């Protein structure tokens, strides 16, 4: 009695095998897309610099990656124990009105800030900012636009941040009442990598303040 098609162990359905391979590829692509979307929304966000306010550290049109982990874990016990929260010196991206701004954290909740004679004083000590251009001075705008007055010491409330652009003479930042202190909830992430221009790839590390 001859073997039927379904009973022949040596006969394979090439059409079904090809279809199986096709669906495996499709499933792999879907999984890869899902993983990338999850990483994008939960952990990493690309952004582009628009303007000169962070020069010379960041230039106009630079493409950056921001780390969003502090957004999710910074205030947790695990995050605090492992240094995953926002820190002085971090370059952050935050929402302002209907746009994003990129600036550097100078003071965190509980710190005191004073700006006088073109310099920043953090917790009573002159802040050594090696990332600034040598000719840059930090001054307040006219009093009608300023958050505080020149030479006035103020304390940053908890869960708020005082931020400045590295190009102090061409940056709208926390010195201006219009921007003011930045609430934690407005921060989208910490800049950690520049990937464009391609010949300027680098990790963006935060400075160590004395």
CATH 3.30.1460.30 fits 39-203, yes or no: no
Does pLDDT of 21 surpass 80?
no
Question: Which tokens in the block code for residue 140?
Answer: 């307040």
Q: How many CB atoms lie within 10 A of CB 194?
A: 19
Catalytic one among 16, 17, 20, 53?
53
pLDDT in tens, 64-115: 999 999 988 888 999 888 999 999 999 999 999 989 999 999 999 999 999 9
69: left (phi over 0), alpha (psi -120 to 50) or beta: alpha
Instruction: Considering the candidates 103, 171, 174, 194, report the single residue annotated as catalytic.
Output: 103
Confidence band for 40, pLDDT divided at 50, 70 and 90: low
Residue 14 has pLDDT above 60, yes or no: no
In 3D space, the residue among 87, 125, 84 whose CA is nearest the CA of residue 109 turns out to be: 87
H or E segment and range at residue 96: strand 91-96
Max distance between CA atoms of the chain, in angstroms, equals 103
Does the pTM of the predicted model rise above 0.95?
A: no
Per-residue pLDDT tens for 69-78? Answer: 998 888 899 9
Q: What is the spatial distance between Cα 58 and Cα 170, in angstroms, rounded to a whole number? A: 13
User: Which pLDDT does position 86 carry in this prediction?
Assistant: 95
For residue 53, indicate whether it is catalytic.
Answer: yes
Residue 63: predicted pLDDT: 96
Length of the chain: 210
Return the SS3 of 169.
helix
Is 103 a catalytic site residue?
Answer: yes
Are 209 and 127 in contact by the 8 Å Cβ rule? The answer is: yes
């Amino acid at each position: 009695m001859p073997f039927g098609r379904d009973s022949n162990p040596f006969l394979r359905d090439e059409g079904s095998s090809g279809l199986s391979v096709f669906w495996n590829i499709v499933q792999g692509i879907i999984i890869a897309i899902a993983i990338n979307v999850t990483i994008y929304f939960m952990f990493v966000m690309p952004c582009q610099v628009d303007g000169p306010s962070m020069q010379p550290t960041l230039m106009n049109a630079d493409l950056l990656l921001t780390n969003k982990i502090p957004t999710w874990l910074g205030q947790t016990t695990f995050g605090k124990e492992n240094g995953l929260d926002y820190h002085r010196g971090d370059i952050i991206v935050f929402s302002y009105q209907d746009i994003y701004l990129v600036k550097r954290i100078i003071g965190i909740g509980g710190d005191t800030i004073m700006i006088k004679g073109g310099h920043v004083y953090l917790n009573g000590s002159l802040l050594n900012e090696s990332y600034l251009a040598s000719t840059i001075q930090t001054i307040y705008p006219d009093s009608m636009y300023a958050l505080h007055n020149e030479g006035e010491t103020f304390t940053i409330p908890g869960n708020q941040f005082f931020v400045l652009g590295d190009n102090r003479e061409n940056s709208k930042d926390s010195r201006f009442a219009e921007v003011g202190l930045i609430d934690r909830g407005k921060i989208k992430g910490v800049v950690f990598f520049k990937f464009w221009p391609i010949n300027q790839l680098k990790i963006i590390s935060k400075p160590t303040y004395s």
